[in-house]
Amino acid sequence: MKLWSKSSTRTDEAVERFTVGRDRELDHALAEYDVAGSLAHGAMLHSINLLTSDEWRGLQRELRNIGREVRAGKFQIEDGIEDVHSEVELLLTRRLGDTGKKIHSGRSRNDQVALDCKLFFREELRRIAQSTEAFFNRLISLADSHKNALLPGYTHLQIAMPSSFGLWFSAYAESLADDMIMLLAAYRITNKNPLGSAAGYGSSFPLNRRMTTELLGFDDLNYNVIYAQMGRGKTERIIAQALSSLAATLGKMAMDITLFMSQNFGFVSFPDDLTTGSSIMPHKKNPDVFELIRARCNRLLALPNEITLLTANLPSGYHRDAQLLKEAIFPAFESMKECLEIAEFALGQIAVRTDILDDERGKALYAYLFSVEVVNEYALQGMPFRDAYKRVGEDIATGNFVPSREIKHTHEGSIGNLCLEEITATMQRTISEFPFERVEQAMKNLMGDE
């Protein structure tokens, strides 16, 4: 069954297989959202007298039944059915006869797809945001617990200046706070209603688009019907940019951890059951979890470019190119969630070395780590900074440098003043702007889950 089929139309089987692509596989993720969209659309059709009260009651009942079947794992797109939209309409027609055929009045498969994807994206962004918040909380907790544990800081992978685990953990926490702003922006653009744009040029039916916007829990609607369809690709690209920002943070941290776990650094360790071994070297404890996080995040960094190139230079109006957007972005949500969850789980079991600078090896290896501290001390005593810099440089060159290991970093965001409360407040302000509770209640009301 195809929503566009006519009695005289017959498509070559090879063409059908090629054009349907992975829709039947990927559309299972959209099933509950297609039902929700049909419930909102049906309520609106009833309000403008395109459905009688009896017809609407029957449609509402059966749509909610289909929704329950989806959640119970009993919904399938049958062989010969093109996509989720066709399957839902077919089920309604089987159960309600001609009444089931009326649900498509005033809409096109174009705005159905746009709507279903936005509802799906909105929920996936909620899950990503909540996983990001959990990971952020883990990092803040670790930063507070290890704020006094020093470790060397590096530039150009050369020993540079003193750092601390508290500083390191909270650096990534603050990066996540900025990533959350990107997620919020993506959520806001996603949370606009395209339903009623039909094929991209509106409808001669007196549709009430504000009503469906409210029923579906959207913040607002995409007003211009052409732009509502042009949003396909743009919405996905903006989401991809938010995911890639998050992936950049997580991938960089994964790279740090793979270095810090190596014997040449030895800064952190994990229980054996969080590492993997070698088939030939019995001593190996490999950081496969973090290497795979790094690889997955690198793949996510390419996502905005992939989506941009899929939709670049298309004129206005719908084009079938947009179908491939699902293949690009649907798996990205799952990969991002899995990376966040395994990272949060693993860091819950991280062990940090607290004597990195204090044992005999550390004292010798990291002696010059404190050279800037000595330069600054001379400057505080009145010596011009450049003279102090030159004096310490000469002492290092002649072997006369005696480091002072006293840390006096007190300004905002430094070793002695991590500003964890301020960073946490920044994150909480952003999270508070997501309308998760309102959206959840609207969807419950629509689906009859009160």
**In 3D, which of 226, 253, 237 has the Cα closest to residue 325?**
237
Q: Would residue 2 be called left, alpha or beta, if left means φ above 0 and alpha means ψ between -120 and 50 degrees? A: beta
> Using CA atoms, how far apart are residues 327 and 259, in angstroms rounded to an integer?
34
Structure tokens at 300: 């996510």
Whether the CB-CB separation of 63 and 37 falls below 8 Å is answered with no
Core vs surface per residue 274-294: b (16+ CB within 10 A) or e: bbeeeeeeeeebebebbeebb
What is the pLDDT of the chain when averaged over all its residues? 91
CA angle (134, 238, 420) in 5-degree steps? 30
At 345-380, the pLDDT tens digits run 999 999 999 999 988 888 888 888 989 988 999 899
* Element spanning 221, H or E: strand 220-221
In Å, how far from its chain's centre is CA 363?
42
> What pairing do the DSSP bridges indicate for beta strands 351-352 and 220-221?
unpaired
Q: Any bridge partners for residue 159, and if so which?
A: 154
> Using CA atoms, how far apart are residues 167 and 159, in angstroms rounded to an integer?
16
Counting every residue written for the chain, the total comes to 450
Tokens 């819950």 label which residue?
Answer: 348
**Span 381-401, mean pLDDT?**
93
> Using CA atoms, how far apart are residues 41 and 107, in angstroms rounded to an integer?
9
Core vs surface per residue 45-55: b (16+ CB within 10 A) or e: bbeeebbeeeb
> Using CA atoms, how far apart are residues 368 and 158, in angstroms rounded to an integer?
11
Structure tokens at 394: 């000469």
Q: Which residues, 6 or more positions from 199, have their beta carbon under 8 angstroms from its beta carbon?
A: 108, 110, 111, 229, 318
**Span 35-53, mean pLDDT?**
97
Q: At residue 404, does pLDDT exceed 60?
A: yes
Domains and CATH numbers, the chain: 13-104 (1.10.275.10), 109-357+413-447 (1.20.200.10), 360-398 (no CATH)
Core vs surface per residue 409-419: b (16+ CB within 10 A) or e: beeeeebeebe
Q: Which long-range contacts (CB under 8 A, 24 or more apart) does 400-406 make?
A: 401/367, 401/368, 401/371, 401/374, 403/367, 403/368, 403/369, 403/370, 403/371, 403/373, 403/374, 404/370, 404/373, 404/374, 404/377, 405/357, 405/370, 405/373, 406/373
Q: At residue 171, does pLDDT exceed 80?
A: yes
**Span 309-331, mean pLDDT?**
88
Q: At residue 141, does pLDDT exceed 50?
A: yes
What pLDDT does residue 7 have? 54
Query: CB count, 10 Å around CB of 406?
Result: 8
Whether the CB-CB separation of 139 and 155 falls below 8 Å is answered with no
SS in 3 state form for 399-444? CCCCCCCCCCCCCCCECCECCHHHHHHHHHHHHCCCCHHHHHHHHH
> What letter would DSSP give residue 276?
B
Q: How confident is the model at residue 9 (pLDDT cuts 50, 70, 90)?
A: low
Question: pTM of the full predicted structure?
Answer: 0.92
**Span 245-250, mean pLDDT?**
98
- List phi, psi (to 5°) of 268: -135, 160
Dihedral, CA of residue 384, residue 385, residue 391 and residue 394, to nearest 10 = -150
Q: At residue 4, does pLDDT exceed 50?
A: no
Q: At residue 27, does pLDDT exceed 90?
A: no
